Structure formats: structure tokens, C-alpha cells
Structure 1
Amino acid sequence: MKNLFGHPHARLVALATLVLLIPLVARALLGWSNPFGYLSDLALGSLLLVLLHRARWWLALPVLLAGAALWLASAELVSAVGRLPTSADLGYLFDPQFMENSTGGGLAHPWLPGLMACGLVAWLLSVWHGRANKPAPLPRKVLALPAALFALHWGAQQWLPSEAEQWRQYNLQHQLLSAGLNTLQHTAMDWAGQTRPVSPLPSAGLTQSDLHGQKLLGAPGSARNLLVITLEGIPGAYLSPNRQALHSRFDESLMPNLSRWAERGMNTPDYVLHTHQTIRGLYAMLCGDYDKLANGTPKGMELLTQQQRNQACLPAQLRQAGFTTHYLQGAGLRFMAKDRIMPHIGFDAVHGLEWFSNENYLEFPWGKDDRAFFEGALDYVGQLRQQGQPWMLTLLTVGTHQPYSAPAEYLERYDTAKQAAVAYLDDAVGAFLDNLERQGVLQDTLVVVTSDESHGIDGVRLASSWGFNLTLAPEQAQLPRIKQGTYGHVDLATSLLDYFALPIPVALAGRSLYREYDSGREMVSFTNGMLRYHNGQGVLAECDFQQRCRRYESKGFIADQAKYLGTGDSTLGPQVAALAGVLDQSLLQTPLNLRYQFGGPSAIQLQARIRDDWADNLIGAQYLEMPQGSHTRVRVKVRALDPRQAAYIQLKAKEMEQDVPLGLPEEVRVTADKPLEMEFGFDNPTVRKAFSFHLLGYGGGEVEVSDFSVITALPGEEEPTEEMADGHIAQSS
């Protein structure tokens, strides 16, 4: 063994094995085989080989560990939700607590860390045994190899663009490097005044409501109540009527019960999900607007600074029309500020995990398993039926979020935990709908079943954007089984108000699902790192992170196959990006002088210990954006409610989920008579994106976070905050 690792070339061979051979083998074993992907691995591996061959081990080791972690993170996220990580995801993937919850303590590919660890150990042994001899320099020709391979990958991408998913074409480091260089190039061109003016694409069809279609119902809908069932991460391909209508080659029947109900309802096969992330999907479907078509502060969060636009959202409109409005989800509410966003958009009652008194059927780190959730939801519906007013109830499941927990009998029947979890959800929602019918709920209630986002399906075209909308109405006989045309979450609020013959606020966009249109329509989505735009005239443009676009002939947005028309010209990518920018700014004309209040008078029960920075967060101040040159001021007030118990409070900050040191105390003891009162500020010399505050506490008892204000403004322009009647700070210049 000593002779093996002491060989003069052992260090070079071990390093080449770790950075070149193992990534190529891992790509093949993961089923990600693609010429571009192998070329990307060779380019990055050869670069690491050149840089680290003669580097000191304590400099090289962190780089190699980070590379291994990125490979593991990519494999896990692709397996879980069918997409390559973005820079905003990296902190989640490096956070051991989040990964433990998301994987349930296990990995989708447990062999991969073992393979990487073996390579690292072999390299360390070679370094140790060869420590007395400095490695010989590499030939000059080898030094030029990384640049040649990167150039070959770039040139091939320009001339022979691939339709394969991003993870098949790039390793994560190469993709992030390319994205950063592309941004730097565009910034430099802007500074040099070399950017050519781009004719903007029309946006009126994306920002205004369209009620010019022929009504499907001759009179206002006869339903008295509204039930919206939102299933975590479910793609449209799981419903058999959708697969049949679009002639999809995906033939796995994972949701036969929901498909059985879909045969009885109105299905919209070409139904588009505009983004990833639950809070963004809920905002689009309930507020009739596209959420950020990039990584920025979710619009639901920005809506907290508005006191008019929130009144246009569906719950507020139905409440104004006499409905009582309710929101119930199977997880805690504070993450992503749903405890504040949902009341702000018009829900009278907002409940999460704390509402349920029934036990789970299985251990699930994020909340209620789906069977237990729907049994509780059935009780909730029963309580609503006893009241005299019409009601709206929105449900959100969490069981099909990774780690995809399912009972043992389901895990035995399916190849993966993800498939087992989907099947478990299918049985739960099928039984729920059966019980609704048995109790007569469907006779006077409009039921819409949809999903917040899509966890994707490997090998299925546009699966990350493919959603579904199933309508079960009292007047079902008057509705078609297959609703033709392109629709998406942006249409849902307008559609439901149209069903009840209620006025459509000017702020809402979208068409009505309960009308027939004789023309196409524009549609946009940003999923799996691709920005897609359909012009409503048979052409879909798909643009990557470098604003390189491919054009397809496609009648609708979602299609199993589409005819490739070639690459777009040099202006198409900037045009689509500019259109996305217009849609992103629909709420705020400027991100400056934003004032958020994440505190409130409610009592929060503390755990005996902090288990997770994410699940145990006491506030919802996540994914904020702070512009360049601004100053952020934070004010915090926390007190213990039980005079007999002390609470221990921590405050952390993360940018792109990486810890940001703010110079704050590591921990503060808080009692009823000695509350924590703190105010601090920091400058933002560059743009901060995905900036999150994590207020954590332990010690038992309850606390009240009466104030957690976050104010971002230009230096010298901070103004006194104005507390609104509902507790939100609602100032925005």
C-alpha cells in the first residue's frame, strides 16, 4: 500500500481519478448521459487538475470537498424535484438540518457520497505518502486543455443546442460559472454603452384580464361554496385524461383515484405552472399575477407592503361578496410568512399544523401526512357546512414534499419513495373526494383540484411547468370533459370570480376557464432554469440562463413533442428577459424604501431545543432582496409570556442560504419582565438576493414577537414607519 501511494505519480493519478473519472462514472450511473455533460465534466475536472495538482493540501481539500458536496446536492435535488440547483438553493443543500428533513435521514443515491469519499481518501493518502517530494509540473499542453474544452462546450452549445435538461448538459459548477460570466458580460456591455436597444415584446395579454370568450354556463354558477385543493408538487402528467389529451408517452399510472375523479370533471391538459416554490404558486393562483420569473423576493412577501393590490386577490374578493374565507395547510405557517400573507390577501381564518388534533399515520418531518391531513380537512369542511354563510376553503398538502414519506406497504409496492408518496396521496385525496360526495358537499360546492408547483418527471418534456386543473361543479353536465386552450395559475382567480359572476378587479390578469376562446394567448413560465414564452400564435421560445433561445412550433404551451424551428436571433433572449422583468415589477416600481413587519401579537410555542433553522423559525422573513447602495434597518422585540420560564433567543441571517455575520449576540435570555429589544442596521454595497432572517428560540413556554421590522431604503431617506390597522407596515416608495 505504501509503495502504491508513494509512487511519484500517485498524487496526480489520485487527483485525476477524483476530479475526472469519478464525475464521469457518477454521471453514467445517475442516468445523466449526454455528450455535453461529459464534456462539461472533463472541462471542469481538467481545470481542477491544473489548479490543484501542485497546490498545498490544505488549500486543495476545501475545494475538493465543496465539489463533492455540489455533486451530491445536484443528485439529490434532481431526484427530488427534477431540476438542477440554483444559487438560491445552495444554502438549503449545504444546510445539514434542512437536508436531514428533506431526505428523511437518507439519501436518494447513498452510493454517491461513498464513491466521493473513497476518491478523497485515496488522494489524501497519496498526498501524505508523497509529502517529501513536490509534484512535477504538468506539460504546457495540459495547461491549455481546460480552456480548449470549455471553448468546445460553448461553441457546440451555440451551433448544436440540446433539448436535454440542464443537469445533463452541465455540472453545477460549470453552470454557475457560465451564468456568472454571462451576467458579467452583460454588465460590462451596459457600462460600455454597447447594449443595443431591444424592442419589447407586448405584455398586455399577460397583465390584463380577458373575458371576451363565450361562456360555458348560461347563468352564474350554481355552487354556493368554493373548495380549492392544492396538492404539493404534482405534475399534470399524473392524471390520465391529461396524458391522453396531449398524447403523452409517459404511461405510469401513479394516481388512479384522482384520474377516476378527473374522468368525471373538467380537465385542462395544457395548464402551466409559472415558477417553482409553494408561496409563488399560491400567489399566482390566488392573486391573478405572475410571481417573479427569476430568483427574487416572492411577490406574496412584497404584497405585505401593499394595502390595495391585496384587496384584488381572490379571498378578499369573495369575502367582500359575503363568503367566509379559510386557509388550511398541513405544515407550520411561519415559513415564507404565510401566517401574514394569507390574512393579508383576505383569508378570515388561517390554520396550519397547530389546528390538527388527529394523530399522524406515519412520521413526517414537515407536518401532517396526507391521510391524516385529509381526515382533518374533512372535519373542517363539516364545521363550515354548519354555518349559514357561503364559504371558501383552500387546502395545501405537504406529504409529497421530499423526503416523500409513505407507509411500508406503499414503499414495498413502488420502486422509489417518491412514487410511493404520490400513491399514498392519491389514496388520501381519492377517499376525501369520495367522502365529500357521500356527504352531499359536491351538490353545492365548486371543487378545484390543482398543484402549487411540479416536482418534474425525468424524461418528460416541460414536466417542470406542467400543472393541472380539475373542476368538479354542480352543473358538470354543461362543462366539457377536456377544456381546450392554454391556461395557467395566473387564470385561476379570474376564472373563479367569473364562475360566481362577480366583478373582476382591474389588477387581475388571465382568462376564464369557464369560457371558450377562439384565439391563442400568450403564456410565460420560469422553471428548471429555463424562461419560456409562448406568443399565442404557435411558437414557443425557450431561453436558458445565457439568454440563448430555441424556438419550437407548438400550438399550445405543454406538448409531448414540438417541431424545432432553430435558434432565435440575438435579440430574442433579451426580449424575453425584458418581458419577464416587466412582469416581475408588477407590484413595486422600485425595490427601495421597503418596510416589512413580520412580528405580531400571537403567542408562539417554543420547543425544548432548536432542531432546524428552517422549520423552527419564529418569523417569515425569507428571500428578501436589498438593492445596491441601500441601507437595511432591523428592529426586534421579543418577550416571554410565561413569568415562570425563560426563553433563549437566537437571530441568524443568511444570504443565498449562506450565513452572514451581523455581529449580534449568539444567544439572549428573555423573560417576561426582561424582553429582548434590539435595533441594528447594515449597508448593502452590492445587491443582496435571497436574504433571510432566522429568529430561533428554545426553552419551553410561549413567546410573543411583537416587532420584527425590516426597513430598506437609501441612506438618509429612512422615514418613520406607519403602523397600519391590520398590523402590517405598508410603506413603499
Structure 2
Amino acid sequence: MKNPHGHPHTRLVALATLVIVIPLAARTLLGWSNPLGYLSDLALGSLLVLLLYRRPWWLATPVLLAWAALWVASAELVSAVGRLPTSADLSYLFDTQFMENSTDGGLAHAWLPWVMGAGLLVWARSAWRSRTTPDAPLGPKALAIPLTLFGLHWGAQHLAPSDADQWRQYNLPHQLLSVGVGTLQHKALSWAGQTQPITPLPTAGLTQSDLNGQKLPSGRARNLLVITLEGIPGAYVRPNRQALHSRFDENLMPNLSRWAERGMNTPDYVLHTHQTIRGLYAMLCGDYDKLANGTPKGMELLTQHQRNQACLPAQLRQAGFTTHYLQGAGLRFMAKDRIMPHIGFDSVHGLEWFSNENYLQFPWGKDDRAFFEGALDYVGQLRQQDRPWMLTLLTVGTHQPYSAPAQYLERHDTAKQAAVAYLDDAIGAFLDNLERQGVLKDTLVVITSDESHGIDGVRLASSWGFNLTLAPEQAQLPHIKHGTYGHIDLATSLLDYFALPIPAALGGRSLYRDYDTGREMISYTNGMLRYHDGRGVFTECDFQQRCRRYASEGFIAEKAKYLGAGDSRLGAQLGALAGVLDQSLLQTPLNLRYQFGGPSPIQLQARIRDDWADNLIGAQYLEMPGGSRTRVRVKVRALDPQHAAYIQLKAKELEQDVPLGLPDEIRVTAAEPLEMEFGFDNPTQRKAFSFHLLGYGAGEVEVSDFSVITALPGEEEKAEEGSDGHIAQSS
């Protein structure tokens, strides 16, 4: 039947334009051109046309809105940190406060939502006008189109795997669909008893310390300064690019590169994971953090009262150093207020320490210029004491949304580049001042990054870190430190520099030794598990455990010779190896008792602005095994007798709200504190489960108890007593 409101196929053309033409054009404009990517867009677009063409507008609209949101989220995250969103990231789309902070400086591709919105409006208009007139069916043969396209994509991936970035090969819904199909396939084979046991690769080469190299001149420094730059990849440092013959030629950090030309650089330096708390754990505690999603090991370390003593700050404290940690953001998120003292820092400070004003508004904390000016004062105070000191600094200015002053934004194409340039000027001035004040004469300075926000089109950029050493004996150290190193090596290296014993729990090689042989290395970034065997073979496995093998002398390299696809067992073997490394702290996730409370007073804000920044505790990203039960105890009291506090408690799993059945708000005073206990079952495994304890009012509060106890039925008392359980407490 002909549509009386226009061409009989108007609705079909509008839908096809929205889900096929616009994605193909957007992929080209974003610079993601790749035959597999275009094939993925055609396959998903044709499937959406088939599924939604004759559906009511009220049913198709939410599907198309979600699809458009995934496209925008993919473009923004790739631009910000060089990777596609994971299933855990998607839930951030529904957290309005997180989105407000993350987009405070505007979208990197602001045109894309407008184009998607225009396409949606055109489709909605055609769908509304033809709502009373049934469209002609496409016929059963139309199903062959998406099936053929998906089949071609699958066949190309298996017959000739591509090493292109994931976002160049897939659109996000297609990738998530592939993950789901692969998971179901694995479960089906397991249920049918057709899976074969996998023998994990040995871990000794990854986890044991190795001091068998030839010692370099070291040990003249009295103090240690570790500077951790948020998200900076190794390609931003000019000597690293030159040593690895990188085609990336943007000189975004000329000041840091100027200093790098005076120091010892390690071009083949590997970052093992994403997320700041995981990077800090690896570099300070000589261990790989989780090579997949899961409770960060820094959290799990709170349950240990021996392993934490092997971490670098604790070892230096035992050797007579005073140990200090200073970051430009609040401490409570991800429990850094508890983790940092637990691993040996005497003094731990965040945003509350700074008295100097910011130069620009930045939602996550101090801008980098203000941060380094404050850090210079901190160093000045440390130099007044008689004892040697260790200071670890963490910047936050190059975290999304990449704020920068107007003059920087005018000089650069993107806010991300402007923020990096602003950081470069700030650290350049900081290092210049350290030299002017004589700090470099008796202080070992190590500059690195917690993670890499990636660089579009640069091979392995998400795993490419850097390590720059500025030492009093600099003239005797090599300008380029050859060999493969990573955050796993930093604690061992610094203890070796100061000629201190290396605890057996630490892994890694020393950057201050030369080795004649290669070494194993592993990382998990951008959804890829990557492993180098130390004998010239580099392997990377994607989210479907499809592996590719390359001939490569080191881990980070501009290019590598493709050796072919790995066999069907290789991906499972490397996955099993990562699983063993993930369990280095806790052999079982059961009988966990975490204590996130403490006696420290907490200043309240006049209002709750942000579930993240205003969280009063650090109970984020916890795992809870399936079949267990979790109990929570909370004690909060106001410290000011004249004022009341108003407390809220929220829970999120994968950042989506989980109802706890608690009051929306509880009034707390000094005379009437909040004391409550509640529990909930975990019928299936929970991942990335976070508690958000929020409060507002005048004065301060004390959260003396925030216990999270997870145990199997019948094991609650054991977990409560801590016998054979794990008790997480602050030092």
C-alpha cells in the first residue's frame, strides 16, 4: 500500500540513513577508516533496519537513542583515553554527575551528537507521519544481508586477524555482541564437557625479582622524589620516540623532553593496566594489578598486614626515610586515604593540603600549575628536616575533561592537547625550580605516569609508559636504558639504587642494572591482553581470546613482524596466566571484611555536588562472590554539637544504582549518631560494587565504622572474627 504522506519508502530511507549512512560518514570523519570497521557498521546498520523498520515508533525510539549514545560515548572515550568503552564504562552514561564533570570542558566531537540528533529527528518525523500506514515487509531474504555481513567480518577476523585498534574494526554494539556470543559459546562448551583443562604458563619470570645484571653507578642521592603524571604516554617524550623510531611526531611536551635529554630514559617501558589506583599499586608495591576488571589490589592489600610492608614506602621508612604522598585531588575516592598509609607513607595529603588558589576551575582538583607550585613548597619543607625523605606526587590535570587556560586552548586543536601542554609548562617550571634550589644535587627524581590515555593510530600507545631518571650521578648513567621494563620494576629498582634489601614479595628487574638477556612482560590495556616471552615473541589476545603472534625484540615497538595466529589454546593459556597473577594477594575472595571507617574528622560541604568527589569513604569497585551474603555496619556522628549533618547512602553496581531499601536521608547529631546494620544476598557474582556515603551540613563528621563483610552462609562468624578471613584496616 502506498504511503499517503510521501514516498512509500520514506521511513525506510530515513532509518537506513540514520543507522548506515551516518555511521559510515562519522567513521571517516573521525579518522577510523578500516575495511573491517565499515563492514561492522554495515552489518549492524542492516540488522537495525531489519529489526526496527516496521516497529512502532515508541518501541524503536529507545533502541535508537541507546545506539546513538553508544556512538557518542565511543567517540569521546577513544578521543580521551584511546580505547572503546567496556560494559562497565557504559553505566557511566547514566550517572549524570559523572557525565557533567567529564564533559565540563565540552565534547571532543561536539558535532557528532548534533548529526545523530538530526538523523533521529528526520527518522522520527517519517515514523510519526506513517504511523497509521503499515509499511511493506522486507521479506525473509533480507535477513541474509546482516547475517552475511557479520559472517564476512567474523571470517576476516579469524582468517587474517587485524592488529588495528578495536574501534577501527568494530562499532561498540557489535563488539559487545561479539563478547556476549563468545561468553555463551564458552559456557555451552563447558556445560557439554567439551572444554579441555588448560595448563597455565609458569609465572616465575614475571613475579620474581632479578638482580643478576651489572650494577650501574648509583646511590649518591640522599632523597627520593617520584612524580606521577596523570595519563601521559611514553610517546610524548622525544628521546623515547627517537629511540623507537616512532612515526608519532607531535611535540606536545617540549619541556619534559628537554629534561629527558639530560636524564636516563627507558623507551620500552610498559604500563600494565588502566586506572590510577592500579598503576600506583604496581609501581609502589612491585606487583601486577588485576589484568582484567576486579577489585583493585590496593583495596585487597588493606586485608594484608605483611605484604604491605614489602611496598617501597614501607621499606624506605624502615631504612630511616620520612615518606610522603601528595596528590591534586581528594583522597577518599578509591580509598587512597587508607591505602597510602597502609603501604608505608607517614604523611598522606590531597586537595585539602593546598592553600594556594587554582589558576582555572577544574572539577577533579588542582590544576597542574597550582599543584606544582604547592608541591615546590612541600619540597621546601622537607628540606628543612634532618632525615632523608621520599615524596610521591600525583597530578590530575590531564584527566578528562582536560581543562586548560584560554591561551592554551587557542594554540591547540583539542582540549586534551591543550591540557598536556599546560602540564608540560607546569612540570618544566617545577624542575627548573628544583635545579635552581639545589634539590637535584642530592635527590633522585623519577618521572613516570600512572596510566596512558593512548594516542590514536600509535601502536601499543595504551601500554606505552615512560620512566625518566634525573640522578646526582647523571653523567655516569646511560641516556637510553635499553631493555624491557615496566611499573612492576620500579619498587625493586629504587631499593636497588639505595642499596637496600629487596623483599621476596617484590618482582621485577632493576633499572639501575644492565642485563644480557630478555625478560617476560605482560599488560592488559584497551581490552587486549599482551605478553612478551623474553625470547623475541610478542603475543596479543583480544576480547574473544583470538591471539596474534609477532617477532619483536622488545614489548613496545613501532612495528613487529607478524608470525601468524596463535593456536586455539594460546588465548586460554594467557588468560589462565593472568588469572594466576590476579590472585597474588588473595587466594580466595571469600570471607572478606573491609573496614573503611576511621577516627579522622571529615569536613562537610554545604550541599552534595558529586557522588564521586563528595564520597566520605573509599569503598569502591568491590567484588562479591556468587552465593555469598554481604553485611554492612555504619556508624556516623556529627562532631559539632551545634549543627546537624544529613547523611545519604547509595550503592552502585557497574555504576548503576542498586536499591538498598534505606531512608533517602538521615539526620545525624552529636547526641544522636547514626548506627545501622543491613545485609543483602549476592545470588550471582557482583563486580565493581561501590558504596557512596554522602553528607552535607555544617561542621565535621566522624565515620568511625563502615564495615563491609562478605561470606558464604554459615561462615559469617569466621569473617567477623577475622579468623582465616581478611580484615581490611588502615595502618
Which TM-score band applies after superposition, normalised by the shorter structure?
over 0.9
Contact 1:625 1:687 in 2 (8 A): yes
* Letter paired with 1:192: A
Which residue in the other structure is 1:687 paired with? 685
* Letter paired with 1:97: Q
Which residue in the other structure is 1:614 paired with? 612
Contact 2:710 2:719 in 1 (8 A): no
Contact 2:591 2:718 in 1 (8 A): no
Which residue in the other structure is 2:187 paired with? 187
Pick from 577, 580, 593: which aligns with 1:579? 577
Q: State the Cα distance separating 1:92 from its structure 2 match.
A: 2.2
Deviates more, 1:195-204 or 1:301-310: 195-204
Which residue in the other structure is 1:662 paired with? 660
Q: Within 2, Cα distance between the matches of 1:230 and 1:700? A: 35
Which residue in the other structure is 1:157 paired with? 157
Q: Within 2, Cα distance between the matches of 1:22 and 1:680? A: 50
Contact 1:722 1:730 in 2 (8 A): no
* Letter paired with 2:348: V
Pick from 439, 442, 449: which aligns with 2:440? 442
Which residue in the other structure is 2:198 paired with? 198
Residue-by-residue CA offset, 1:239-298 (whole Å, 9 max, x unaligned): 111111111111111111111111111110100000000000000000000000001111
Q: Alpha carbons of 1:200 and 1:667: their partners in 2 closer, same or farther (altered >3 Å)? A: same
What is the aligned length? 724
Q: Within 1, Cα distance between the matches of 2:425 and 2:348? A: 26
Q: Within 2, Cα distance between the matches of 1:369 and 1:722? A: 43
Q: Within 1, Cα distance between the matches of 2:8 and 2:369? A: 61
Pick from 388, 391, 394: which aligns with 2:389? 391
Which residue in the other structure is 1:554 paired with? 552
Q: Within 2, Cα distance between the matches of 1:122 and 1:672? A: 59
Q: Within 2, Cα distance between the matches of 1:57 and 1:313? A: 58
Q: Within 1, Cα distance between the matches of 2:196 and 2:5? A: 57
Which residue in the other structure is 2:504 paired with? 506
Correspondence 1:592 to 2:590: yes
Correspondence 1:408 to 2:406: yes
Which residue in the other structure is 1:20 paired with? 20
User: Normalised by the size of structure 1, how large is the TM-score?
Assistant: 0.97
Q: State the Cα distance separating 1:228 from its structure 2 match.
A: 0.2
* Letter paired with 1:310: N
Q: Alpha carbons of 1:196 and 1:700: their partners in 2 closer, same or farther (altered >3 Å)? A: same
Q: State the Cα distance separating 1:4 from its structure 2 match.
A: 9.1
Pick from 251, 255, 258: which aligns with 1:257? 255
Q: SS in structure 1 opposite 2:302?
A: helix
Residue-by-residue CA offset, 1:622-663 (whole Å, 9 max, x unaligned): 111111111111111222222222222221111111112222
Deviates more, 1:121-130 or 1:686-695: 121-130
Which residue in the other structure is 2:90 paired with? 90
Q: SS in structure 2 opposite 1:653?
A: strand
Q: State the Cα distance separating 1:335 from its structure 2 match.
A: 0.8
Percent identical among aligned pairs is: 85
* Letter paired with 1:140: P
Residue-by-residue CA offset, 1:27-82 (whole Å, 9 max, x unaligned): 12211111111111122122222222222322222211111111111111111111
Q: State the Cα distance separating 1:720 from its structure 2 match.
A: 5.8
Q: State the Cα distance separating 1:312 from its structure 2 match.
A: 0.5
Which residue in the other structure is 2:112 paired with? 112
Contact 1:5 1:125 in 2 (8 A): no
* Letter paired with 1:146: P
User: Normalised by the size of structure 2, how large is the TM-score?
Assistant: 0.97
Q: SS in structure 1 opposite 2:599?
A: coil
Contact 2:711 2:719 in 1 (8 A): no
Contact 1:230 1:450 in 2 (8 A): yes
Contact 1:286 1:314 in 2 (8 A): yes
Q: State the Cα distance separating 1:340 from its structure 2 match.
A: 0.7
Q: State the Cα distance separating 1:722 from its structure 2 match.
A: 6.3
* Letter paired with 2:101: N
Pick from 703, 706, 720: which aligns with 1:705? 703
Contact 1:6 1:129 in 2 (8 A): no
Q: Alpha carbons of 1:668 and 1:531: their partners in 2 closer, same or farther (altered >3 Å)? A: same
Q: SS in structure 1 opposite 2:716?
A: coil
Correspondence 1:49 to 2:33: no
Q: Within 1, Cα distance between the matches of 2:416 and 2:141? A: 47
Contact 1:723 1:730 in 2 (8 A): no
Which residue in the other structure is 1:80 paired with? 80
Deviates more, 1:255-264 or 1:101-110: 101-110
Q: SS in structure 2 opposite 1:367?
A: coil
Q: Within 2, Cα distance between the matches of 1:490 and 1:509? A: 6
Contact 2:300 2:728 in 1 (8 A): no
Deviates more, 1:350-359 or 1:188-197: 188-197
Residue-by-residue CA offset, 1:291-335 (whole Å, 9 max, x unaligned): 000011110011111111111100011111111100000001111
Deviates more, 1:647-656 or 1:323-332: 647-656
Matches for 1:310-459 after TM superposition, within 5 Å: 310-459=308-457
Contact 1:242 1:268 in 2 (8 A): yes
Q: Within 2, Cα distance between the matches of 1:720 and 1:194? A: 38
* Letter paired with 2:598: G
Residue segments in structure 1 that go unaligned for 5+ positions in a row: none
Q: State the Cα distance separating 1:7 from its structure 2 match.
A: 4.3
Q: Alpha carbons of 1:669 and 1:135: their partners in 2 closer, same or farther (altered >3 Å)? A: farther
Q: SS in structure 1 opposite 2:506?
A: coil
Residue-by-residue CA offset, 1:356-402 (whole Å, 9 max, x unaligned): 00011111111111111000000000101111111100000001111
Deviates more, 1:544-553 or 1:101-110: 101-110
Q: Within 1, Cα distance between the matches of 2:468 and 2:591? A: 41
Residue-by-residue CA offset, 1:535-567 (whole Å, 9 max, x unaligned): 000010010000001111100000011111111
Q: Within 1, Cα distance between the matches of 2:519 and 2:561? A: 19
Residue-by-residue CA offset, 1:450-503 (whole Å, 9 max, x unaligned): 000011111111111010000111111221111110000000000000111111
Which residue in the other structure is 1:524 paired with? 522
* Letter paired with 1:672: A
Runs of 4+ residues over 3 Å off in structure 1: 3-8, 720-724, 728-731
Q: Within 2, Cα distance between the matches of 1:195 and 1:301? A: 33
Contact 2:592 2:719 in 1 (8 A): no
Q: SS in structure 1 opposite 2:636?
A: strand
Q: Within 2, Cα distance between the matches of 1:514 and 1:227? A: 16
Deviates more, 1:693-702 or 1:584-593: 693-702
Q: Within 1, Cα distance between the matches of 2:5 and 2:558? A: 52
Q: Within 1, Cα distance between the matches of 2:678 and 2:149? A: 48
Q: Within 2, Cα distance between the matches of 1:339 and 1:106? A: 31
Matches for 1:113-192 after TM superposition, within 5 Å: 113-192=113-192
Contact 2:57 2:131 in 1 (8 A): no
Q: State the Cα distance separating 1:199 from its structure 2 match.
A: 3.1
Which residue in the other structure is 1:40 paired with? 40
* Letter paired with 2:100: E
Residue-by-residue CA offset, 1:484-523 (whole Å, 9 max, x unaligned): 1000000000000011111111100000000110000000
Which residue in the other structure is 1:719 paired with? 717
Q: Within 2, Cα distance between the matches of 1:233 and 1:534? A: 23
Q: Alpha carbons of 1:455 and 1:151: their partners in 2 closer, same or farther (altered >3 Å)? A: same
Contact 1:6 1:126 in 2 (8 A): no
Deviates more, 1:494-503 or 1:129-138: 129-138
Contact 2:105 2:403 in 1 (8 A): no
Contact 1:100 1:106 in 2 (8 A): no
Q: SS in structure 1 opposite 2:299?
A: helix
Q: Within 1, Cα distance between the matches of 2:175 and 2:420? A: 31
Q: Alpha carbons of 1:313 and 1:657: their partners in 2 closer, same or farther (altered >3 Å)? A: same
Which residue in the other structure is 2:461 paired with? 463
Q: State the Cα distance separating 1:197 from its structure 2 match.
A: 2.5
